[in-house]
């Protein structure tokens, strides 16, 4: 422990009203650090600082924005091992997954450094002689960024980098469980040369700090990633005061496995999609929809691969699956294992707590078979290493089952049939479609987001991030 990690408000590192201990889910005895917890007044002070910094940052030269974001990206990439270790320690992803996420965050800053230079407008001939029409994008103002615990650095990065690149000022509130990576990001941005007040970090409770950001009239828009219930509640408040809103929420993503699939490809996609990152991904494949002809072979091969997965300390070499993020989430996962059994699904692998050398929240990845799409384990987001196999007669039924969900983030298919792959790409009701790939694991430079209950508002990432982070102006000019 190295003292208290403070909030960053108006370019100053300030104490919070209280502090909170950041604990390692792999090891109850390991405290990652003590982090300041802001109250509502500090959140409002952060918004005021961001509002004061907006006029000058919104007019800053794009070279300045490029330089800051590029420097931040360079430092993040150079510190990948150290930050990846911090991430694995506070969230429970394995070290390679943690390092991979840090690299992604660094690349996102590099990408949006370039985007600051590429924000083009349009010049269009007017229908009126002698008049020019110009369409340009401008920053929206102060943006509130509210992030979940499962991607402690990538999600803060993919919200903050476009916000800053397009000239907005930021108030960020990370998830309570993982303040460490967000603090490291704030420190990096601070030292990368951002003027005071352009990026503010306020750690603390969602119901206090998050609420203060959402309801502050000086916040022009909020980009939120988290659960459906929180997302809906904050959207209602933002829409009521006509602020911009961007929500990324839950998923119940299907992986369809057809009779003609390559078995190895299908099993790899299922193992990685359902269980890596301890299944704690909005894009996790929690519904494995498998056609009759391959069903038994697929289940056998998947159970074999699962038996070889090593569940242990996120930092231990050779760990495939780290711990569940905390006790509450572990209890929720275990409750769903019980619900699945009570509903009549067959638990064929895992689903029980496992003891390791260190006292962590370890859960053996769980696989259900004989599930139906009506069961709660097939309809509700569990957000843990729990997946259910649902049997389908043929492709048509599999597609119908895949789409029979209130979510629509990602949908995958394992098949060697061009016809079915093409049809699925076109007809899967999801924001992202994967063919012979896991549903989780996406590029950083293309749009990310879903349909139906999974997302609301404009897409994140890639050039599409400009939709949320800018507002369009149409100017008519006569000589
Ligand atoms: P959560 O909804 O509990 O919290 C998300 C954030 O909102 C946290 O920072 C929290 O403190 C804050 N918050 C809570 N109450 C608030 C309030 N009243 N006002 C303002 N802010 C408030 O979600 P979580 O448990 O941190 O994350 C898990 C969820 O995130 C899962 O449902 C998962 O699917 C989702 N997720 C979605 C995506 C995606 O892009 N679709 C990506 C990652 C995670």
The closest residue, in CA terms, to atom 30 on ligand 1 is: 226
Domains of the chain from N-terminus onward: 4-249+454-477 (3.40.605.10), 254-435 (3.40.309.10)
pLDDT band at 2; cut points 50, 70, 90: low
Q: Is 298 left (phi over 0), alpha (psi -120 to 50) or beta?
A: alpha
Tokens of 62: 């794009």
CA 329 to the chain's CA centroid: 17
Distance (Å, rounded) from C-alpha 252 to C-alpha 451? 12
Whether the pLDDT of residue 330 is over 80: the answer is yes
What does the pLDDT look like over 267-316, one tens digit per residue? 999 999 999 999 999 999 999 999 999 999 999 999 999 999 999 999 99
The closest residue, in CA terms, to atom 40 on ligand 1 is: 248
What does the pLDDT look like over 433-462, one tens digit per residue? 999 999 999 999 999 999 999 999 999 999
Query: How remote is the CA of residue 326 from the centroid of ligand 1, in Å?
Result: 15
Query: How remote is the CA of residue 61 from the centroid of ligand 1, in Å?
Result: 34
Query: How remote is the CA of residue 150 from the centroid of ligand 1, in Å?
Result: 9
Query: How remote is the CA of residue 409 from the centroid of ligand 1, in Å?
Result: 15
- What average pLDDT score do residues 368-396 get? 98
Q: What is the percent of the chain with per-residue pLDDT over 90, rounded to a whole number? A: 99
Contact 146, 226 (CB under 8 A): yes
User: What distances in angstroms separate CA 55 from CA 58, 66, 137, 145, one per listed residue?
Assistant: 5, 18, 15, 19
Query: How remote is the CA of residue 268 from the centroid of ligand 1, in Å?
Result: 28
Best residue among 204, 216, 230, 410 to mutate for probing ligand 1, ranked by most atoms within 8 Å of CB: 230
Tell me the three-class secondary structure of 244-313, residue by residue.
Answer: EEEEECCCCEEEEECCCCCHHHHHHHHHHHHHHHHHCCCCCEEEEEEEHHHHHHHHHHHHHHHHCCCECC
Containing 49, the helix (H) or strand (E) segment is helix 40-58
CB atoms within 10 A of CB 405: 22
pLDDT band at 479; cut points 50, 70, 90: confident
Query: How remote is the CA of residue 89 from the centroid of ligand 1, in Å?
Result: 20
pLDDT at 160: 98
The closest residue, in CA terms, to atom 26 on ligand 1 is: 148
Active site residue 82: no
- What average pLDDT score do residues 122-149 get? 97
Question: Minimal CA–CA distance to 173: which of 199, 140, 141?
Answer: 199
Q: Mean pLDDT over all residues of the chain?
A: 97
Ligand 1 atom closest to the CA of 229, numbered from 1: 2
Whether the pLDDT of residue 388 is over 50: the answer is yes
Contact 208, 42 (CB under 8 A): no
Tokens of 456: 């609301």
What does the pLDDT look like over 46-71, one tens digit per residue? 999 999 999 999 999 999 999 999 99
What does the pLDDT look like over 60-100, one tens digit per residue? 999 999 999 999 999 999 999 999 999 999 999 999 999 99
Distance (Å, rounded) from C-alpha 378 to C-alpha 421? 23
Distance (Å, rounded) from C-alpha 174 to C-alpha 204? 8
What does DSSP say about strands 455-456 and 244-248: parallel, antiparallel, or unpaired? antiparallel
Q: Which residues line ligand 1 (CB under 6 A)?
A: 146-151, 173, 175-176, 206-207, 210-211, 214, 225-227, 230, 233-234, 248-251, 282, 381, 383, 409, 454
The model's pTM is 0.97
Q: Please pick, among 75, 101, 248, 460, the residue that the annotation labels catalytic.
A: 248
The closest residue, in CA terms, to atom 20 on ligand 1 is: 210
pLDDT at 296: 98
What does the pLDDT look like over 190-240, one tens digit per residue? 999 999 999 999 999 999 999 999 999 999 999 999 999 999 999 999 999
Angle at CA 165, nearest 5°, toward 164 and 169?
20
Active site residue 248: yes
Ligand 1 atom closest to the CA of 251, numbered from 1: 34
Whether the pLDDT of residue 1 is over 50: the answer is no
């Amino acid at each position: 422990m190295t003292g208290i990690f403070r909030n960053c408000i108006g370019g100053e590192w300030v104490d919070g009203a209280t502090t909170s201990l950041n604990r390692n889910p792999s090891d109850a005895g390991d405290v990652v650090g003590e982090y300041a917890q802001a109250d509502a007044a500090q959140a409002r002070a952060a918004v005021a600082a961001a509002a004061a910094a907006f006029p000058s940052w919104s007019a800053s030269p794009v070279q300045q924005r490029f330089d800051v974001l590029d420097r931040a990206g360079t430092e993040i990439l150079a510190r990948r091992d150290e930050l990846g270790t911090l991430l694995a320690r506070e969230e429970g992803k394995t070290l390679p997954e943690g390092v991979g996420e840090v690299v992604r965050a660094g690349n996102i800053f590099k990408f949006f450094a370039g985007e600051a230079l590429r924000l083009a407008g349009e010049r269009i001939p007017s229908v009126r002689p002698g008049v020019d029409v110009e369409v340009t994008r401008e920053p929206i103002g102060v943006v509130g960024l509210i992030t979940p615990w499962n991607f402690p650095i990538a999600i803060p990065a993919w919200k903050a980098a476009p916000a800053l690149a397009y000239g907005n000022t930021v108030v960020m509130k990370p998830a309570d469980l993982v303040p460490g990576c967000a603090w490291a990001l704030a420190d990096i941005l601070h030292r990368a040369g951002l003027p005071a007040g352009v990026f503010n970090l306020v750690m603390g409770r969602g119901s206090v700090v998050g609420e203060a950001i959402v309801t502050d009239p000086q916040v022009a828009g909020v980009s939120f990633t988290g659960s459906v219930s929180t997302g809906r509640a904050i959207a209602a408040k933002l829409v009521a005061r006509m602020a911009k809103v961007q929500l990324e929420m839950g998923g119940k993503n299907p992986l369809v496995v057809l009779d003609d699939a390559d078995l190895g490809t299908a099993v790899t996609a299922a193992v990685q999609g359902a269980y890596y990152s301890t299944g704690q991904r909005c894009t996790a494949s929690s519904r494995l929809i498998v056609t009759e002809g391959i069903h038994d072979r697929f289940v056998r091969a998947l159970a074999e691969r699962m038996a070889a997965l090593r569940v242990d300390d996120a930092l231990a070499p050779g760990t495939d699956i780290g711990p569940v993020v905390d006790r509450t989430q572990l209890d929720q996962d275990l409750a769903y294992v019980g619900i699945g059994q009570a509903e009549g699904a067959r638990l064929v692998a895992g689903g029980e707590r496992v003891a390791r050398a260190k006292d962590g929240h370890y859960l053996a990845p769980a696989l259900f078979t004989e599930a139906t799409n009506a069961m709660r384990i097939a309809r509700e987001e569990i957000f843990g290493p729990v997946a259910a196999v649902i049997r389908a007669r043929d492709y048509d039924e599999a597609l119908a089952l895949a789409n029979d969900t209130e979510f629509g983030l990602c949908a995958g298919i394992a098949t060697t049939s061009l016809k079915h792959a093409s049809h699925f790409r076109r007809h899967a009701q999801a924001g992202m479609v994967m063919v012979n790939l896991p549903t989780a694991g996406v590029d950083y430079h293309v749009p990310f987001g879903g349909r139906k209950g999974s997302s609301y508002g404009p897409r994140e990432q890639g050039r599409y991030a400009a939709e949320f982070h800018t507002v369009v102006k149409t100017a008519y000019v006569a000589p």
